[in-house]
Structure 1
Amino acid sequence: MARRRYLMAYDIADPSRLRRVCNLMEDHGQRLQYSVFLCDLSLGERADLETSVAEVMDLTEDSVVEIDLGPANRPAAVRCLGRPRALPESGPQIV
């Protein structure tokens, strides 16, 4: 099952919906910044996450940006300026 790395960012207007979307993102990836997550997902996992998030969102007020960084085993480079951040390793992780 091929996995791809995605950078996911959200802007949710309502605090209740924000918490629900944040919980979904935390279940699928690692937080880089307040509303930015790095997720290694299969196509099925991505579809499930998109469906779950869309069910929570108000599509007239909220937005989620998804950037495909490529295959999880060799994703596009992510660089940090300023305070360094520990980026998650590629591939599945056992928590």
Structure 2
Amino acid sequence: MAKHLSNARYPTWLIEAAPRIIKHMNEDHPNCIASTLYGQHGIKDKNAKMDNLEVDGYYIQSDGALYFAKFTKTCVSPDEYKSELVKHAHLYRDFELS
């Protein structure tokens, strides 16, 4: 995520938490990212990576393109962000690539 001054679109909590969330998801939960990409956009890519966070979802990088993974709500804290990521993991479990 680009460095921004805090505002409604990029609140301080998101700016501060983004590097940690992105690193954790890309290292520990790449299957969740890939299954969300497949579930929301119909794209199969085991190498998909979380790229950039927004308060209402995140961007996934796949084959040089960015795709937005939409949450069901706008998050106002790291805990809400985690909850939305867990929702995606459950919602798109059937889209996991083997």
Query: Is the TM value for this pair above 0.5?
Result: no
Select the structure that is richer in helix: 2
**What TM-score results when the alignment is normalised by the length of structure 2?**
0.31
Higher relative contact order (CA 8 A, sep 6+): 1
**What TM-score results when the alignment is normalised by the length of structure 1?**
0.31
Select the structure that is richer in strand: 1
Structure of higher CA gyration radius:
1
